[in-house]
Structure 1
Amino acid sequence: MSFLRLSGLLLVLATLAGCETVSGFFEMGDEDNPRQPAELVDIEEQLDVRKLWSTGIGDGQGDGLYKLQPIIDGDVIYAAAAEGEVRAIDRKKGSTLWRQELDIPLSGGVGLYEDSLFLGGSDGLVMRLDAKTGETLWTSEVSGEVLAAPQGNGRVVVAQTYDGRLYGFDYESGERMWRYNSSLPVLTIRGTSTPIIDGGVVYAGFATGRVLAFDVMDGTVRWEARVAIPQGRSEIERIVDVDGTMALMGTELYVASYQGRIAALDTRTGRKIWQRNVSSFYGVSQGFGNVYITEETGTITAFLRNGQGVRWEQPALAWRGLSKPVPVSSYLAVEDFEGYLHLLSQVDGEFLARIRPDKEGARADMLADGTVLYVYTNGGKLIAYDIRSRN
């Protein structure tokens, strides 16, 4: 690994661990640093946030600063820990349905399709498990860490690696069917977006600032869209990774890049329906006719889904290392680097409640179902909260 590549990795690790940006790394420790996290102010609590249950999942995200993501399927929630523990949990009670201890350190997951789970290993492995028992059905090798959940559709399992490759594996056997190689910049954010399979197409974002659509069966590129263009003299200024979760709604794909743009893409052609300048690596979500994003600065922005502008902005959590905004009921949930969970109105961005599930924070995207919010903390706590208005 070159010095620049190693330096880039260290810079991004520092970014994700705290609340600094890559570009602001060298200013850390400066008392006049404009990227100093905003102080929290008192708010009027307008919601009842009730803990339903809590359970521990191994070592959580471990020491690799991973983002292992739980997933819901009916009355079951599946979760995995970096040390190799995988669990199926009753979503309503929090009780364990089954537990497996894999001898493989995990870095990406959990993907789900019908009766199967998909996981990625930090040693360059992709696995398919039986969702009813946790039994490993097959394991295949890839060229590097899998930092996002592999995806499947009953015919193919798709996995993306940190070194810029996208793989397609036979669903039943795990045999490699195809591979796509993307050029890798000198410096990148530590992470990848999660591929999305829709029908016969898989969508994936890369560190080049591009989003590509592939034929899921043979890896043929159907279209390519540039979300961001590298600019600036230094390699740090030219980082334009498409990281975080993309959001698919009908024939529109919403995606954001670091030091680039948020864009709505037509999934049939890759044409940009609309775009706005932003810098983010947290991922996007949608609800109430809005597309939500946490910007690098910590500002939470609700863009009108039709591209006609901004509905509201909430800058009060500046530089607090926020998670991806997640709609839950009529509210919007974000967690900061100190472990505070903030609940805002989807209508106008007003703060409605604040709790602190865990001091270690939560890099994994939160999950929501109805009025219930699930938080998987970095330390391995999986917590269910019921959220309702006091009125």
Structure 2
Amino acid sequence: MKQLSILAFLFLLVPAANAELTAFNRWVNLKPTTYRFEHRPSERSHPVIVGDILYYATLNGDIFALHRIQGNVLWHRNIGAPIDGAFSYGRSKLFVGDTRGNLYALEARNGDVVWQKKVSSQWLTPPVQVGSRLFAMTSAHELYAYSERKGEELWQYARHGDEKMTIRGTATPVVFGSEIYQGFADGYMVALSMETGKLRWEKKLRQRARFYDVDTTPYVDAEKLITGTYDGSLYSLDRQTGDIQWRLPVGSYGGVLVENNRLFFSGLDKNVYSVDAVSGKVLWKTPFNKGVGMAPSLVRGGLVVPTSADPLYVLDPETGKILWTERLGTGTTSPASVHQDGWFYCLSNYGQLYAFEMVERPHRDKAWGTLKTLSAIYRENGGTIESTATASGSGT
């Protein structure tokens, strides 16, 4: 009789053809963070991925560089003031603004200061580096252009309307071609010359008497600009003239995602929307429980939607079906940061960084192929097993 050569269970795991998506929490950076604020903090800084390094910043003024797969800290520094959304990367530098008006360029490899500027207002949105220029928007509705290399001021554009109360936060400037597009708290969207800051066009979007901020970072392509307002509208504008192409009566705080002429965004009415980007027609909407939805992201075919009051959602972008949820404990006030390999990262409102990996999960009714035990295989072979076999797999 031949020797029995398999000494453990053999699992033959055959993925189903029609798989759903799920996400695994791979690691969490639980570095203790002490906040001294009257109300619960809202971490609005968006983690930045550069190769296998992930950078993020917190309201405590901490900046971390981590290995994005392993989660180990490569370097850390504290700038001594809260960082509330003004955090980005470009040309081997981190650009960081704080709530005391300091704007820094730091060496991405070690956090050393390259240059520093000071203004009288706060920095609340990521600076944008394009070529040799850096564009940054302040809480006082001032858009600055600096030289990326030395921080020299090149031009400034400001709008000071009659708004008495505004929503905290500002839209991130977007550059397309030779123009820069920016929303303002007075309810206007403007197009400026990237070189000079000269106004090309402006469009009034506000519909009501207060809280009409245009704080949604716009999506821009060759034909159109899509942006949302806090007073309850989403607009598609002609990129060259600012003329309105369509309007959807749903406001948005987070940004929008456009993929293959389909628009995804989180509405202030607590619904995630899929919209035809050409016509403005709603394709589907899915409600979420509470809080404010952030800008969606696509990860391996799943639509990741963070919310300010939990949970984090993964939706089917075709149907809006909820595929997976996860609680971060305090929610998040920034979009997910996404890598093309299926990993994505979320910074909770208490400064804890979560790493997830999106994977395919077969449907429960077709979860796996045959699951065979050692005794079953032994019986099928007439009491003998002729060769050693190995197989591996995992699933939930």
Partner of 2:191: 213
Partner of 1:365: 335
Note if 1:339 corresponds to 2:310.
Answer: yes
How many angstroms apart in 2 are the aligned matches of 1:180 and 1:143? 15
Equivalent positions of 1:152-191 (< 5 A) are 152-184=129-161, 185-191=163-169
SS at structure 2 position matched to 1:112: strand
Note if 1:85 corresponds to 2:78.
Answer: no
Equivalent positions of 1:279-290 (< 5 A) are 279-287=251-259, 289-290=261-262
Asked whether the 8 Å contact 2:21–2:360 carries over to 1, the reply is yes
Say which of 269, 280, 303 aligns to 2:241: 269
Shift of 1:333: 1.8
Q: State, as a whole percentage, how many aligned pairs show the same letter.
A: 27
> What TM-score do you get using the length of structure 2 for normalisation?
0.79
Shift of 1:188: 0.7
Query: CA offsets, 1:27-68, max 9 Å, x none?
Result: xxxxxxxxxxxxxxxxxx954321222224674997463511
Say which of 1, 19, 24 aligns to 1:50: 24
Query: CA offsets, 1:167-220, max 9 Å, x none?
Result: 112222212222111124101111111112334322211112211122223211
> What TM-score do you get using the length of structure 1 for normalisation?
0.80
Distance 1:266 1:314, change over 3 A: same
Say which of 187, 202, 215 aligns to 1:243: 215
Partner of 2:201: 223
Partner of 1:330: 301
How many angstroms apart in 2 are the aligned matches of 1:53 and 1:311? 35
SS at structure 1 position matched to 2:85: strand
Partner of 2:171: 193
Distance 1:186 1:109, change over 3 A: same
Say which of 86, 90, 104 aligns to 1:109: 86
Asked whether the 8 Å contact 1:165–1:180 carries over to 2, the reply is yes
Say which of 126, 146, 167 aligns to 2:103: 126
Partner of 2:75: 98
The gaps in structure 1 that reach 5 residues or longer are 1-44, 233-237
Shift of 1:132: 1.9
Equivalent positions of 1:34-73 (< 5 A) are 47-56=21-30, 59=33, 63=37, 65-73=42-50
Note if 1:203 corresponds to 2:203.
Answer: no
Partner of 1:35: none
Deviates more, 1:361-370 or 1:244-253: 244-253
The gaps in structure 2 that reach 5 residues or longer are 1-18, 363-396
How many angstroms apart in 2 are the aligned matches of 1:277 and 1:92? 41
SS at structure 1 position matched to 2:140: coil
How many angstroms apart in 1 are the aligned matches of 2:96 and 2:77? 13
Q: What code does the residue aligned with 1:278 have?
A: V
Name which structure has the greater RCO, CA cutoff 8 Å, separation 6+: 2
Note if 1:387 corresponds to 2:387.
Answer: no
Shift of 1:386: 1.1
How many angstroms apart in 2 are the aligned matches of 1:62 and 1:86? 18
| RMSD of Structure 2 on Structure 1 (CA) | 2.3
Distance 1:50 1:144, change over 3 A: same
Query: CA offsets, 1:2-40, max 9 Å, x none?
Result: xxxxxxxxxxxxxxxxxxxxxxxxxxxxxxxxxxxxxxx
How many angstroms apart in 2 are the aligned matches of 1:166 and 1:60? 32
Partner of 2:5: none
| Bigger CA radius of gyration | 2
Q: What code does the residue aligned with 1:302 have?
A: S
Say which of 271, 277, 288 aligns to 1:299: 271
How many angstroms apart in 2 are the aligned matches of 1:114 and 1:270? 32
How many angstroms apart in 2 are the aligned matches of 1:62 and 1:210? 35
Distance 1:266 1:96, change over 3 A: farther
Q: What code does the residue aligned with 1:285 have?
A: L
Asked whether the 8 Å contact 2:121–2:139 carries over to 1, the reply is yes
Partner of 1:23: none
Partner of 2:12: none
Query: CA offsets, 1:209-253, max 9 Å, x none?
Result: 211122223211122223x22425xxxxx2211123322345433
